[in-house]
Structure 1
């Protein structure tokens, strides 16, 4: 009778496992897409930045490091998650589960801290601190400290996660499934404290990133304003020999704006002469469309366009940081929810479970999108990729 019960339990567990595999097919396909895209894109980034690009500028130092971390993140994370999708209720390897959880946490921390190091490097360079750049020795020490710190923070995963028993109800009896997650006998208060600590570290990093990039943008904006004002004065001095090019309100204009202003002044003068009884002079209408003149008169818009063109690396790293923050926050939020509610994942409906799982694993999207951002903003990288494509033909 005992053998018969075990046999029925095994068959029922296998049926549930197969049903879960079918439910997770879209997620599995998505993980395969992330894996292939990330390996191809970041592999290309590593190849081009380390072997093809001759200009080893200070701006590009951390890009190969970040690409290598993205490769490890996606290759280990996606492969492990795909294996989980094929054994959602019958995963029976405690050691691999512990190692993968620890590795995923440490790699995620390394990626986030690298983004923070990149922001700090941009701040040092823009604000002209420490000879305008980080030395090669300081960069290497920074990377080493990031790796060691991330590993230390991830060590508790070895004790909190592993092969977990999952109670599955079958009509009047309960059978046991197995999954990779928080172990049942772990202290829930300690697990919650660890999850909250990770969330606080993440929020602190996000706040630091926002602060640094806000300060950087402020410095760049001020410098571009001063440079634009000086360039305008030099152009006016060369063309007209005038020493003072400031308006009464302290604002400056480009040549197109001066043209527009002069035309408006001529029109106003002609109207005044007509009102005084003098012969009417044909009104000169400006040939520049009104919409364009309004845009040119926006000082902020002009300076921001110049920043977009001149400071491409700043915009590139800023976008990478924003996407990373957006992709990781749902993961930490669901981790805390799972720490507070022990059976959170198993009380969800099929649709709710699928949606929550996509958000939980959505951090892998960041690893696949980063190469596209490099391609858009780094013209040298884009040119090298075009040369590779042409050479293949």
Structure 2
């Protein structure tokens, strides 16, 4: 980077020192401007890295038997951890080295990995919605087995890897000049200048990315609406079944007693036989009834657990929507309006910048959602940190 910065038309060492000082001063101005956002990014890292590591430790090593409903939580946590580190590295470098960005390779790889990791996480949310749809709405149909779960994770990563290859060609380090500081040259990670055809290609690529995001949102939303309707119907059915079972159990003794009294009045011998049969029947039912009730309770608890997991992933998807939509909206705006970020006040700039980087929220919010919906996760957290 020093070789790039020191490249100048003047061979005078004093001019080089002066140019370097102006460049550092220019960079410090940007660093001060971006400082509030740098604090926000630091908080994201302080919360997100430990949170995702705890999720991985609990779900992979302490709740390994719970494979069905929680299978995708661990790979999602790995993707979120990776995406959080990469996107934070990119944005922190931009905040602190806005006009001293360290080279084409770093710029392109950080941007590419940022797009790829965040998109992989979004695609995985789509797969989770399909799996929950099968589990809740088609419980007796074909389910996603372990092979297809692993394959779906690989497909999400592979599609994201291929989809964002154009980022490597449309972005890089560009030269920018500051006439107010002796026309010095800075180096910024941004869209590469090009012909009208190249700019059109960039717009098509970003429009396609926005379309993919919206399509994911629509598909996941539709699936979770269907899941919610199915859950409501099943809960109503469970309640009506429970009421009916309670009524049947309360009516059985009265009917038996009346039958017994009737037979007792007919003949003594018949009463004796009926009494013996009644005792045998009651004795058998007393053994079977708790077993049936226990199985019914277990089935009911299993359904409630499946419903809770579905609502948990529904909440994760909703948070993801809130995080991704503003980011893609600003990407489209800034592509079509190159001076967008220069034509606003400082306060508006910070608000828009926070919204532009709001996609990072999706990568550190999930541990809090798990702690709200998953009782077993909360219990393991207490054990892990020795909290009673």
Query: Which stretch shifts more, 203-212 or 122-131?
Result: 122-131
Matched, 1:334 2:334: no
1:83 match: 93
Larger gyration radius, structure 1 or structure 2: 2
> Contact conserved, 1:165 with 1:183, CA < 8 A, in 2?
no
Normalising to structure 2: TM-score of the pair?
0.79
1:231-278 CA distance string (max 9 Å, x none): 212212222469xxxxxxxxxxxxxxxxxxxxxxxxxxxxxxxxxxxx
- Which residue of the partner structure matches residue 62 of structure 2? 52
Normalising by structure 1, we get a TM-score of 0.78
Shift of 1:130: 6.8
Corresponding position: 1:377 with 2:387:
no
Say if 2:248 is the partner of 1:237. Answer: yes
User: Counterparts in 2 of 1:224-303, with a 5 A limit?
Assistant: 224-240=235-251
Q: 1:116 to 1:339 in 2, by over 3 A?
A: same
Q: Does 1:152 align with 2:152?
A: no
Q: Is the 8 A contact 2:72 2:128 kept in 1?
A: yes
In structure 2, relative to structure 1, the CA distance for the partners of 1:132 and 1:385 (3 Å cut) is farther
Between the aligned partners of 1:66 and 1:162, the Cα distance in structure 2 is: 29
TM-aligned CA deviation for residue 226 of structure 1:
1.8
Q: Is the 8 Å Cα contact of residues 90 and 111 (structure 2) preserved in structure 1?
A: no
**1:66 offset after TM fit, Å?**
0.4
**Once superposed, what is the RMSD of the aligned Cα atoms?**
2.5
Describe the SS at the equivalent of 1:325.
Answer: helix
**What displacement does 1:126 show?**
0.9
Aligned-residue offset at 1:353: 2.7
Q: How many residues align?
A: 328
Change (3 A) 1:351 1:176: farther
Aligned equivalents of 2:43, 2:341: Cα separation in 1: 25
In the other structure, the counterpart of 2:129 is 119
Aligned to 1:197: 208
Confirm or deny that 1:388 pairs with 2:381: no
The residue aligned with 1:128 is: 138
Distance 2:351 2:104 in 1: 26
Q: What residue number does 1:206 align with? A: 217
Could you tell me how far apart the structure 2 residues matched to 1:320 and 1:211 are? 15
2:187 to 170, 174, 178: 178
Alignment-derived partner of residue 139 in structure 1 = 149
The answer to which of 342-351 and 64-73 deviates more is 342-351
* Deviations, residues 51-75 of structure 1 (Å, cap 9, x unaligned): 1114223110000000000100111
Segments of structure 2 that go 5 or more residues without pairing to the other structure are: 1-8, 254-302
- Do residues 34 (structure 1) and 44 (structure 2) align? yes
CA distance in 1, matches of 2:96, 2:15: 25
Q: What is the match of residue 234 of structure 2?
A: 223
Structure with the largest fraction of helix: 2
Q: Give the aligned partner of residue 357 of structure 2.
A: 361
Please state if 1:43 is matched with 2:53.
yes
Post-superposition offset of 1:372: 0.9
Per the TM alignment, residue 311 of structure 1 is displaced from its structure 2 partner at its CA by 1.8
Cα 1:308–1:180 shift into 2, 3 Å: farther
8 Å contact from structure 2 (residues 178, 184) kept in 1:
yes
Match of 1:15 in 2: 25
